[in-house]
């Protein structure tokens, strides 16, 4: 039965009993006594209810699942329901505490640092790796603003700007960290730190090795190639027997030389210390030269046009020349005889844009996203035939990255390809 119904019935029964008793007394011993007894009975009833209310209020002050006030009638039902609720609450809290303990233990096992902050960046919790990465001490620093604990200008700027979609690379206490901030419920934030010191060191060793190896190979190769070229030009009878072999050796030697040159260029571009130069680039002159070189490479087999109307830009002239030259050379190499190539340079709302369009063999879509990887070729034999090193587009990617430009490739097999480079407005020359 519902508690309020029990309550009503038991209250009515009591009132009726009191009134009936008082009525009987009034009937035998006079109306005055009857009224007095009725009033006393009602008063006793009110005092009893008040007593229950007081016990309930005491219990609510200090709820315990073991000790509950005694009740009668509807109060028994109310107290037993409260008891059940209290037991469930205690069970839920125990489960929550256990879950939280397990969650924190899992967080301590993570290889990355995790910091939980409130909406105003006050430290709520962090795991031991975060303590190690950021020099925090949870017991000491809890409740303090994280920007007061990690006091580096890059970190503070990153927090102030609040552009958390790109991670921050932070050099802190001789470690290189990648820092992500992820907002979550109640405007709290999770900060994740990933230590890349070791992988950067290995990467640096790899880069140094390639740069050194290429450098060491360059001089002996130049000497060998020089002698081979001279020998292959001899008209002497003995030498001419070997001339076909020598020609092959010259070709392979030159290929190795191109490879070494491209490897050196790439390692120079990758080097963090090597900052991009900012000089004014005369785009018209540069593109004219590149188109002339392409015409020499094509030897009249293609129609090569320049469509020029854009502005000059700032950047490294050598790097931009090598990137554009790679794109135009590729267009010549991957376009069969009779095809056409257009190099266009125009101003645009998003900044100046270069495009190199050909009517060549094209590339199927599954290869496009991988073309800028080192040594990735759609067709290995064709790339070698056309004297490719497999590093051209990797060089293009690095140069563009250093100039904050973007490469977009559109291509249809059998129809042709279009390589577009979007430069940012910041590359324009300020007038
Ligand atoms: P490679 O020296 O082999 O040309 P790149 O890095 O310059 O190396 O290019 C990578 C691959 O992309 C090439 O092997 C080729 O398959 C493809 N490619 C590049 N440019 C073009 C183009 N204009 N048309 C068709 N395929 C192209």
Residue 1 has pLDDT above 60, yes or no: no
At 416 the pLDDT is 97
Q: Which has more pLDDT, 299 or 202?
A: 299
Please tell me the CATH code under which domain 110-195 is placed.
Answer: 3.30.450.20
Residue 75 has pLDDT above 80, yes or no: no
What's the mean pLDDT when you consider all of the chain? 86
Residue 384 has pLDDT above 90, yes or no: no
Classified by CATH at the fold level, domain 199-270 comes out as: Helix Hairpins (1.10.287)
For a ligand 1 pocket test, name from 259, 262, 355, 383 the mutation site with the most ligand atoms within 8 angstroms of its C-beta. 383
Residue 316 has pLDDT above 80, yes or no: yes
Q: Is 310 in the pocket of ligand 1 (CB under 6 A)?
A: no
**How many Å lie between the centroid of ligand 1 and the Cα of residue 333?**
8
At 254 the pLDDT is 81
Q: Is 329 in the pocket of ligand 1 (CB under 6 A)?
A: no
Mean pLDDT of 319-325: 95
At 324 the pLDDT is 97
Mean pLDDT of 37-54: 86
Backbone angles phi and psi of 349, in degrees to 5: -60, -40
For a ligand 1 pocket test, name from 298, 330, 372, 397 the mutation site with the most ligand atoms within 8 angstroms of its C-beta. 330
At 143 the pLDDT is 92
Q: Is 363 in the pocket of ligand 1 (CB under 6 A)?
A: yes
Least confident of 102-111, 154-163, 194-203, 211-220: 211-220
How sure is the predictor about 335, in pLDDT bands with cuts at 50, 70 and 90?
A: very high
Residue 291 has pLDDT above 90, yes or no: yes
Q: Is 34 in the pocket of ligand 1 (CB under 6 A)?
A: no
Specify the residue with its C-alpha closest to ligand 1, atom 18: 330
Mean pLDDT of 358-366: 96
Specify the residue with its C-alpha closest to ligand 1, atom 3: 390
CA distance 292 to 303: 12
For a ligand 1 pocket test, name from 339, 371, 376, 409 the mutation site with the most ligand atoms within 8 angstroms of its C-beta. 371
Q: Is 379 in the pocket of ligand 1 (CB under 6 A)?
A: yes
How sure is the predictor about 72, in pLDDT bands with cuts at 50, 70 and 90?
A: low
Least confident of 129-143, 218-232, 412-426: 218-232
What architecture does CATH give domain 279-427?
2-Layer Sandwich (3.30)
Specify the residue with its C-alpha closest to ligand 1, atom 4: 388
Q: Is 322 in the pocket of ligand 1 (CB under 6 A)?
A: no
For the chain, domain boundaries? 3-52+68-94, 110-195, 199-270, 279-427
Q: Is 407 in the pocket of ligand 1 (CB under 6 A)?
A: no
The per-residue pLDDT for range 264-277, each reduced to its tens digit, is 888 888 775 566 77
> Is 428 exposed, middle or buried (CB count within 10 Å of its CB: 0-12, 13-18, 19+)?
middle
The per-residue pLDDT for range 237-250, each reduced to its tens digit, is 665 656 677 777 77
How sure is the predictor about 26, in pLDDT bands with cuts at 50, 70 and 90?
A: confident
Q: Which ligand 1 atom lies nearest to the CA of residue 390?
A: 8
pTM for the whole thing? 0.59
Mean pLDDT of 50-64: 79
The per-residue pLDDT for range 102-124, each reduced to its tens digit, is 888 888 888 899 999 988 889 99
Residue 78 has pLDDT above 60, yes or no: yes
Q: Which of 396, 397, 406, 410 lies closest to 427, judged by CA?
A: 406
Q: Is 361 in the pocket of ligand 1 (CB under 6 A)?
A: yes
At 407 the pLDDT is 97
Same-fold call for 199-270 versus 279-427: no
Q: Is 358 in the pocket of ligand 1 (CB under 6 A)?
A: yes
């Amino acid at each position: 039965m519902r508690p309020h119904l029990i309550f009503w019935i038991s209250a009515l029964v009591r009132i009726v009993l009191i009134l009936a008793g008082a009525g009987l007394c009034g009937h035998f011993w006079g109306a005055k006594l009857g009224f007095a007894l009725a009033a006393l009975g009602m008063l006793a009833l009110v005092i009893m209810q008040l007593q229950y209310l007081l016990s309930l209020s005491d219990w609510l002050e200090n709820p315990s699942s073991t000790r509950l006030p005694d009740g009668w009638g509807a109060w028994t039902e109310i107290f037993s329901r409260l008891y059940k609720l209290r037991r469930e609450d205690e069970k839920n809290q125990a489960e929550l505490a256990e879950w939280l303990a397990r969650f924190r233990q899992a967080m301590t096992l993570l290889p990355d640092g995790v910091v939980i902050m409130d909406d105003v960046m006050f430290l709520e919790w962090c795991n031991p790796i975060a303590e190690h990465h950021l020099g925090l001490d949870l017991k000491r620093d809890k409740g303090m603003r994280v920007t007061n604990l990690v006091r580096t200008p890059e970190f503070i700027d990153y927090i102030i700007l609040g552009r958390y979609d790109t991670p921050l690379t932070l050099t802190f206490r001789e470690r290189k960290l990648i820092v992500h901030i992820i907002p979550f419920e109640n405007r709290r934030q999770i900060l994740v730190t990933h230590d890349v010191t070791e992988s950067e060191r290995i990467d640096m060793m790899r880069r140094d090795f390639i740069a050194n190896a290429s450098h060491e190979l360059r001089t002996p190769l130049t000497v060998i190639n020089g002698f081979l070229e001279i020998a292959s030009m001899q008209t002497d009878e003995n030498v001419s027997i070997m001339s076909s072999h020598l020609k092959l050796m010259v070709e392979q030697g030159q290929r190795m030389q191109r490879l070494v040159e491209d490897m050196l260029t790439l390692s120079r571009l990758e080097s963090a210390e090597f900052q991009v130069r900012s000089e004014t680039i005369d785009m018209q002159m540069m593109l004219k030269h590149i188109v002339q070189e392409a015409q020499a490479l094509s030897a009249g087999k293609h129609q090569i046009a320049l469509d020029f109307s854009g502005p000059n830009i700032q950047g490294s002239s050598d790097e931009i020349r090598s990137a554009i030259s790679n794109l135009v050379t590729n267009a010549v190499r991957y376009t069969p005889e009779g095809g056409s190539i257009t190099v266009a340079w125009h101003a645009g709302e998003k900044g100046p844009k270069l495009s190199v369009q050909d009517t060549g063999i094209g590339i199927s879509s599954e290869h496009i996203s991988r073309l800028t990887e080192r040594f990735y070729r759609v067709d290995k034999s064709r790339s070698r035939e056309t004297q490719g090193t497999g590093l051209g587009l990797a060089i293009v990617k690095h140069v563009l990255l250093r100039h904050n430009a973007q490469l977009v490739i559109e291509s249809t097999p059998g129809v042709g390809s279009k390589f577009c480079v979007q430069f940012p407005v910041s590359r324009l020359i300020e007038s």
